Structure 1
Amino acid sequence: MSFIDKIDRAIREKGKKEARKTATVPTKSTFLQDGKVTPAEFVQAGDLLRSKCPQWHWCTGKEENILPYLPRDKQFLELKGVPCRKRASAVTGSGLEKKLDEGEDDWVAPDEDVSKPAEAASSSAAPSSSSDDEDDMFDFSDSSSAPSSAGPSFRTYDATITYDIYYYSPRLYLKGYAEDGSTPLTPEQIFEDMATEHANKTATVDEHPHLDVPTASIHPCKHAQTMKSLIDREKEAGRQIKPEQYFFTFLKFVQTAIPTIELSGTVEAE
């Protein structure tokens, strides 16, 4: 990407940031019809995720970035110190995934019962007490501090989930650290931990909407479409995914884009 393209992208992203505060807010649920969620459903899903996996925390972020359609203390979710023990190339092509739909850009999902919630952290993720589709390369050197319990022999990630008003879907952001636990990963290094088809098409590096630091993310343009496919698949099997269960399913299908970042396990629904 050229310097001019980077400037143009930065201007567009700044405009989107301001537009998020005044965007039309959906209030009627269409989750079963199109896989999209309202801000209220985003919060309900986050609360259930917190109750199942308390390593996740609700955060506020910067005061000037507060979104009026979300509770002040529940602007986004955060999980720190997620292990990443090897590169994505070591596990791709394992045969453990299958396409949800035809098409080169489609998501893949684990071949399992997605109605069972995924607890979005491995046991080794560290608890935290903290408060458009182009490869855009930024320097992470001035970003926020590293997680407190980074492992000495593997990479770690801080993960956040925000609400994207443009797609009525959650959006996952990732900030990585090298094996020493303190050196931020470059965008190129982060893309090493993403499946190739996503690193080249759906992954980007942008300013975090609440923290104002450059952060890698998986673009949400197909999240609703993927969720709708999973809803239909579960319905055919006689099961139902409820809006408040969104993150349990979301963290399973997004895991296919980051197969070695240990973001999700499985916990039985109560």
Structure 2
Amino acid sequence: MLKFFRRIRKNLLEENKFKAYLFYAIGEIALVVIGILIALYLDNINEQQTIDKKQENHLRLIMGEMTNNLYSLQTEKEALGEILESNRLILSVFNNQKKIDTLRESYLSDILFMPLTRQIKFENENGALTELLASGGLKDIKNDTIRSVLASWDAKLAILESQEAGLYKALEETHRLVKEKGSFRVIFDQLGLSEYLKISEVSSTESNKHFLTSKEFENTILHYLASGDQLSRKNYPSFQKDLEQLIKLINQELSSDQ
């Protein structure tokens, strides 16, 4: 091909057709430029297709994580609801001697168990999102809204974790009080855990009812209830809404690319 063009140029020069040669040379340059532009265009298409494919893979992985996170959040919400209900039941008999006298130890152990043993901790899956952020791939997400939500996700999670940390402090304080001034063994006995763990039961005369007249224990349970109620009414619903919205946005984006 190159020999063919050189032959044409040589013939034009030999025949002193300079003007024709000039037009030919300009045309040849234009063809070369057009060829380069076409090659660049095709390279850009291939590069964009590669970016789009990476974006799709990232979004699918993130949507899978967020779907799992939604399930995990719901699990913690249900457990938190049980703890709050137990705390309310404990408070309902405080300083009511008539109720305390008729209260069965097994019932008290039952409503003490969850607030003493169940830590509320949303287990967040974020491997795909972390990889996306670390690799700088966030800039390749075409949807501005999705990109903005993902960029601020860690901040949303930090707020949730902060409130959970406050609730954990209440759990630790309740645990400390029972450990120092009460009996876990009574709770274990009454709930059948002693038998399950193959340990002997303590005397049936021991009781944890004295906590129901303890101002310190009441204050701790009130703090526990207030912290948990904030998480239950505000933080968890807000984060759940964010999760559902992000899943919806990603699903719409993936559907539009089909």
User: Same fold judged by TM-score > 0.5?
Assistant: no
More helix by share: 2
More strand by share: 1
Task: Give the TM-score taking structure 1 as reference length.
Answer: 0.18
Greater Cα radius of gyration, structure 1 or 2: 2
